[in-house]
Amino acid sequence: MNKILKTKRKIRFQDCDPFNHLNNSKYLEYFINVREDQIAENYDLDIFKYMKTTGLSWVVASNQISYVRPAFTMETVVIESQLIQYTENLLLVEMKMWNEDETELKAVLWIKFIHYNIQAKKVTNHSDDLMKLFQSVVVPVNQSIFENRYLEIIQELKNRTYTDS
């Protein structure tokens, strides 16, 4: 089972600002939409079907994003995601947006999801089946603070670029 999921998307004109850059708020939409598709395709978990059948879902508790380089109108980007941490009621997903050949980082996002009972209107624990899925796909990272992780990623890119030269 793939742990790091990758999807290509084209940046659309209507999502861009007058400079032909992807609007800052639209990054989140691209990331969330891709993640929903990825988990349905790779983990057979349709979150909307899950919500209808169980009354449970995930709500976004927080986002932390760093914009590294602009994504441009009609550019094809690669959006990568991975579960980096989980608990009985929380998921922390790291996402990156790259240019098409994955040589230029566009943005890094940490998004924290809370498992939520919609009818009871309260946080709820994940089922044993979900916990097994999370255990099988988690890719922990060395950092627990977003800013430190961002700096680590940037340093890895610099080292890779230096090594490739």
- Give me the mean pLDDT over the 22-34 stretch: 97
- DSSP secondary structure string, the chain? --SSEEEEEEPPGGGB-TTSBBPHHHHHHHHHHHHHHHHHHHH---HHHHHHHHSEEEEEEEEEEEE-S--BTT-EEEEEEEEEEE-SSEEEEEEEEEETTS-SEEEEEEEEEEEEETTTTEE-PPPHHHHHHHHHH----S-SSHHHHHHHHHHHHHHHHHHH-
Model pTM? 0.95
| Buried b or exposed e, range 79-114, using 16+ CB within 10 angstroms | bbbbbbbbeeebbbbbbbbbbeeeeebbbbbbbbbb
Please give the share of the chain, as a percent, with pLDDT higher than 90: 95
Quote the pLDDT of residue 24. Answer: 96
Using a pLDDT cut of 70, give the percent of the chain over it: 98
Task: Give the C-alpha separation, 130 to 47, whole Å.
Answer: 12
pLDDT tens-digit profile of 54-106? Answer: 999 999 999 999 999 999 999 999 999 999 999 999 999 999 999 999 999 99
In order of their start, the domains of the chain are 5-164 (3.10.129.10)
Q: Predicted confidence band at 165 (pLDDT cuts at 50, 70, 90)?
A: low
Model confidence at 1: pLDDT above 60: yes
Q: Dihedral of the CA atoms 10, 82, 51, 117 (nearest 10)?
A: -130
Mean pLDDT of 107-126: 98
What confidence score (pLDDT) does residue 164 get? 65
**Token pair in block for residue 44:** 């057979």
